[in-house]
Chains A and B, each alone.
Chain A
Amino acid sequence: DAGVIQSPRHEVTEMGQEVTLRCKPISGHDYLFWYRQTMMRGLELLIYFNNNVPIDDSGMPEDRFSAKMPNASFSTLKIQPSEPRDSAVYFCASSSGPRGLFFGSGTQLSVL
């Protein structure tokens, strides 16, 4: 298996634009997590899914953020409209039950 795949690897956009981050979890994993990492706040859990169903989105900072998981092999995190304070590294991770998370390489987002 290729592991968790995230795209794009880097995204530079202007304030106000829509940003869509993509994630393909490891086949067979039934949990998918979206995290955001910054120097100031560390790793923040944004939302996670179990069997494609959102379980907890209390970490989503604002209504500008939305996440979907239309099937077991794909998830998106969308920011609309984007703001400079959204600049961070966004990680997707998947797991199968109470075991370790497998992380993707992350998307480095810069909002100018």
Chain B
Amino acid sequence: SQQGEEDPQALSIQEGENATMNCSYKTSINNLQWYRQNSGRGLVHLILIRSNEREKHSGRLRVTLDTSKKSSSLLITASRAADTASYFCATEAMNRDDKIIFGKGTRLHILP
């Protein structure tokens, strides 16, 4: 069963613009993670934010977490063609079973 649901399902923007993707989840979590998947490849871990954190940065990536709304957002600033990929959020539920469940992802296309 899916825990996280990304929104939008697909997003096309011009190179240089910022891209924002959202994730909503259902149960209380220990942490939330974002991954990138290029076509035909495995997923690559981008960033992890813990339930007691509200914002985290890594290079051009900014992640926010609102546990009261059970939602997170991933912002990619100054997008590049190489950012074209699918982006997934994943949650580790707060029930000590260490399961990591993924959403269906957002397909991001950066237009040259």
Chain A residues in contact with chain B, CB under 8 A?
4, 31, 33, 35, 42-43, 45, 48, 50, 55-56, 91, 93, 98-106
Task: Give 30 pairs: A residue, B residue, CB < 8 Å, sorted on A.
Answer: A31-B98, A35-B102, A42-B2, A42-B102, A42-B104, A42-B105, A43-B88, A43-B104, A45-B101, A45-B102, A48-B98, A48-B99, A50-B98, A55-B97, A55-B98, A56-B97, A91-B43, A93-B42, A98-B98, A99-B48, A100-B35, A100-B48, A101-B35, A101-B45, A101-B100, A103-B42, A103-B43, A103-B44, A105-B41, A106-B41
Chain B residues in contact with chain A, CB under 8 A?
2, 30-31, 33, 35, 41-46, 48, 88, 90, 92, 97-105
Q: Which residues from chain B contact A105 at a C-beta distance below 8 Å?
A: 41-42
Q: CA A98 – CA B31 in complex, angstroms?
A: 8
For the complex of A and B, 7 pairs with smallest distance between CB atoms: A100-B45, A103-B42, A42-B104, A43-B102, A103-B43, A105-B42, A106-B42
Q: CA A71 – CA B58 in complex, angstroms?
A: 35
Closest to A43 in B: B102
Q: Which residues from chain B contact A99 at a C-beta distance below 8 Å?
A: 48
Number of residue pairs spanning A and B whose beta carbons lie under 8 angstroms apart: 55
Q: Is the CB of A98 within 8 A of B92?
A: yes
Q: Is the CB of A101 within 8 A of B43?
A: yes
Q: Is the CB of B103 within 8 A of A42?
A: yes
Q: CA A4 – CA B43 in complex, angstroms?
A: 11
